[in-house]
Amino acid sequence: MIQLSRRALLASALLPLGAAVAPARAQTAAAPADFGKVAAPLFSALAKTHGIPGLVVGITRNGQHEILAIGQTARTDGRPVDGDTLFELGSVSKTFNVTLAALAAERGRLDLNAPLDKVAQRLTGTAFGALTPLDLATHATGGMPLQVPDSVRNEKELVEWLAAWKPAAAPATRRAYSNISIGVLGLVTATALGTSFPRVAENDLFPALGLSSTFIDVPEAAMARYAMGYTAADKPTRVTPGVLAPEAYGVKSTAIDMLTFLDANMGVGKVAPEMARALARTHTGYYETSSYVQEMVWERYPWPVTRDRLLAGNAPDMALKPQPIKKLDPPSPPAPVSFINKTGSTSGFGSYVVMLPAEKLGIVVLANRYYPNEERVKAVYALVEGLLGGAG
């Protein structure tokens, strides 16, 4: 069944079967009139080409939200996806991790520039202990592996592994995208706050951002809204618990909540001054890569930007292979005229979030099947072109 707001009826004739455009709940004004017309053919084709059972794309423009929902929460006995469907965010979870670290810094509980061995004395005298929380937040570790080794089964074994780890290069010269580094940042931040990462995220961080359907552990009352994920081989799956999973890739959220999060990051949403300052910290640029400026996890491109540059910055090699970086001294302050993005995946889900702060435009794409980052970038770039009349 397709449900449309009155303002969306004009675009309804353009929608393929199974796609619904409707205003997000709690919004009083309509999103741009051309959203359904531009987004529906792009993302319906994307879902069909990649066999995605359910896909939701949301837009925020000047704080006004609109949702396009395509498909089902599961291949069997699923129900239509919508703005309240829970998806696994994968590495988009890292943006919450650095927000919490910045918030702890605002509260005077964490020094982002102090060596880690100040809060983890077991690491005193080690290469890892000499790193700072900011090094972890920017992947500037000198060659940290992407994943936690299979031999590491708990936090005690993790600390032992970290104590023995040696960087491949000076941290300021090599970027290595890593679930380990950002995961440890979450542990360090939670320790500084005297709690665990899941507890502080769900009880403090998410509510402070105005998020009511964002979780690490999905409660029973929300399980019916949690989509089933599908692997590239089309096997049903959901993320499994693991060392550093909550901190690195374990957040589940909805399109509506993620649009609210993007609003807060762009200064459109209503958050406390302390949170606004923390979010601004996360958008300081610390290093330059071949394609973008590395903020705290977020990746900043100039605006306008070419599609080729975005594709290069989101290519597999940026995550799977170490990349040279140049330290920015002084750091680059938040840049409103920019294109900021982050991709995320688990074995059964794919996500992509984008902000153009100067345009007050944010986009979130959530899908319950893994598909390549390249295809996410192409679809969102075409959407931006359609909404703004050319992207660069």
Given a cut of 60, whether residue 27 has pLDDT beyond it is no
Given 3.40.50.10860, 3.40.50.10470, 3.40.710.10, 3.20.20.80, which CATH number is that of 6-98+197-388? 3.40.710.10
Given a cut of 70, whether residue 391 has pLDDT beyond it is no
Residue (of 70, 76, 65) closest to 45 by Cα position? 70
Q: What is the pLDDT of residues 13-22, one digit of tens each?
A: 334 434 555 5
Residue (of 93, 88, 85, 89) closest to 22 by Cα position? 85
Q: What is the pLDDT of residues 349-367, one digit of tens each?
A: 999 999 999 999 999 999 9
Residue 53 near residue 237, CB atoms below 8 Å: no
Close Cβ partners of 94 (under 8 Å, ≥ 6 residues apart): 182, 248, 249, 297, 342, 344
Q: What is the pLDDT of residues 265-277, one digit of tens each?
A: 999 989 999 999 9
Section 290-307 average pLDDT: 97
DSSP letter for 332, please.
E
Binned at pLDDT 50, 70 and 90, residue 30 comes out as very low
User: Which residues partner with 342 through β-bridges?
Assistant: 353
Both structure tokens of 265: 């990051």
Q: pLDDT value at position 168?
A: 86
Q: What is the pLDDT of residues 87-132, one digit of tens each?
A: 999 999 999 999 999 999 999 999 999 999 988 778 999 999 999 9
Determine the Cα–Cα distance for residues 127 and 392; give it in Å rounded to an integer. 42
Categorise residue 312: left if φ over 0, alpha if ψ from -120 to 50, beta otherwise: alpha
Burial of 271-308, coded b for 16+ CB within 10 Å and e otherwise, reads beeebbebbebbbbbbbbbebbbbbbbbbbbebebebe
Domain parsing of the chain, residue ranges = 6-98+197-388
Both structure tokens of 337: 């005229």
Q: What is the pLDDT of residues 117-170, one digit of tens each?
A: 988 778 999 999 999 999 999 999 998 999 999 999 999 999 999 999 999 888
Given a cut of 50, whether residue 234 has pLDDT beyond it is yes
Q: pLDDT value at position 170?
A: 84
Give me the active site residues, please: 91, 177
Binned at pLDDT 50, 70 and 90, residue 28 comes out as very low
